[in-house]
Amino acid sequence: MKNNKKTVLSGIQPSGELCIANYIGAMKNWIKIQEDYNSIFLIVDLHSITVSQVPSELRKRCYSYLCQYLAVGIDPEKSIIAIQSHIPEHLELMWILNTITPLGDLSRMTQFKDKTKKNKENINSGLFTYPVLMASDILLYNADLVPVGADQKQHLELTRNLAEKFNNKFSPTFSIPDPLIPERGSRIMSLQDPNSKMSKSDANLNNLISLLDDPDLIVRKIKRAVTDSKSEINYTNSKGLANLIDIYSSFSEKSIDEIEQFYIGKQYSDFKSDLGQIIIESLKPIQKKYSQIIKDKTYLDTILKNNSSKASQIARKTISKVYRKVGLVSKARLIY
């Protein structure tokens, strides 16, 4: 990537069905941005195994994610789409960053606390060091910008701290990445429990809308979404309604004001029925493209092969530089 463009990087864990929260919080920004930045979008499989996965399903899901990245509009000629585990340098950089990461910083991570509560039977050290792997994903490619939802802000702060710490201790090496968090829709909430965030790994599928849900299911899930017993469509009525208005706003590109104005004198049922249709129409082209490519393993493998080789080139350079700066003997000098 030899040009003057800045670099954008993001990733998603293949830990469930990609859902509209991932789309609204992160992927929408990926698509907008890929024209103007050198872009790298990862399927972060190594992160996902910090929670138990069924191996055969995980493998299948990685292909499904690849197809969904393509279907939402990521162009594999313009952006690098890669599977994290295909580029072992992520793990190499993680080790180096581990050696400058204070334990106290990791124990303050709210996602670590949440995940240990949810996975009492498998509190592994991968959950604890997870943010260091995320920092290595970002710093390996010298990303300037990281489009994510609000839940990743704390991880980004740690990444920035680690980059600064490394730069100060050795010499300037890493760019300091900025988060790109959407103004609206950075925290989409569960449909049945608007006090918790919508999560693709939620066992209750009524809490989320998957990018691949069929129209009938979308209508049913929106109909059942928890709101309140008021009558006017007003953003301040309840968390549940505000969440649905956020989703509406994000898919329709209409402001909250416009939406409230439009529904004056109308019922919650009108609003919910329109919202269902807006989501269905927005997901239709994504689902169509997905079904066209999901069976074409040769095409998908070619994308993975070409893209991970592009990613590896960048990653190798960073790791060589980092190893040299920390004082490791270069293996390259032994080859003559």
Task: Write out the binding residues for ligand TYM, residues 108-137 only, by CB under 6 A.
Answer: 134, 137
Q: With CB under 6 A, what is the number of residues at the site for ligand TYM?
A: 27
Q: How far is the CB of 308 from ligand TYM (least distance, A)?
A: 16
Q: Binders of ligand TYM among 178-207, rule CB under 6 A?
A: 186-188, 197-199
Query: Which residue in 197, 272, 305, 317 is the catalytic one?
Result: 197
From 21-29, 217-225, 264-272, 292-300, span contacting ligand TYM (CB under 6 A): 21-29
The residues pairing with 42 across neighbouring beta strands, listed in sequence order, are 11, 82
Rounded least distance, CB 141 to ligand TYM, Å: 10
Q: Does 47 bind ligand TYM (CB under 6 A)?
A: yes
Q: Least distance (Å) from ligand TYM to the CB of residue 309?
A: 20
138 near ligand TYM (CB under 6 A):
yes
Q: In the complex, which residue's CB is closest to ligand TYM? A: 25
Closer CB to ligand TYM, 207 or 263, in the complex: 207
- Please give the residues from 146 up to 175 whose contact with ligand TYM meets the rule CB under 6 A: 146, 148-149, 151-152, 155
Nearer Cβ to ligand TYM (39/227): 39
Cβ 276 to ligand TYM shortest distance, Å? 19
Under the binding rule (CB under 6 A), the answer on residue 10 touching ligand TYM is yes
HEC profile of the chain: CCCCCCEEEEEECCCCCCEHHHHHHHHHHHHHHCCCCEEEEEECHHHHCCCCCCHHHHHHHHHHHHHHHHHHCCCCCCEEEEEHHHCCHHHHHHHHHHCCCCHHHHHCCHHHHHHHHHCHHHCCHHHHHHHHHHHHHHHHCCCCEEECCHHHHHHHHHHHHHHHHHHHHCCCCCCCCEEECCCCCCCCECCCCCCCECCCCCCCHHHCCECCCCHHHHHHHHHHCCCCCCCCCCCCCCHHHHHHHHHHHHHHCCCHHHHHHHCCCCCHHHHHHHHHHHHHHHHHHHHHHHHHHCCCHHHHHHHHHHHHHHHHHHHHHHHHHHHHHHCCCCCHHHCC
**In the set 7, 13, 34, 39, which binds ligand TYM (CB under 6 A)?**
13
- 115 catalytic? Reply is yes
204 neighbors 253 (Cβ within 8 angstroms): no
Q: Is 162 within 8 Å of 134 (Cβ atoms)? A: no
Least separation in angstroms between CB 298 and ligand TYM: 27
Least distance from C-beta 164 to ligand TYM, angstroms?
Answer: 18
Active site residue 197: yes
* Contact residues: ligand TYM, CB under 6 A: 9-13, 21-22, 24-26, 44, 47, 134, 137-138, 146, 148-149, 151-152, 155, 186-188, 197-199
**Catalytic residue ranges:** 115, 197, 200
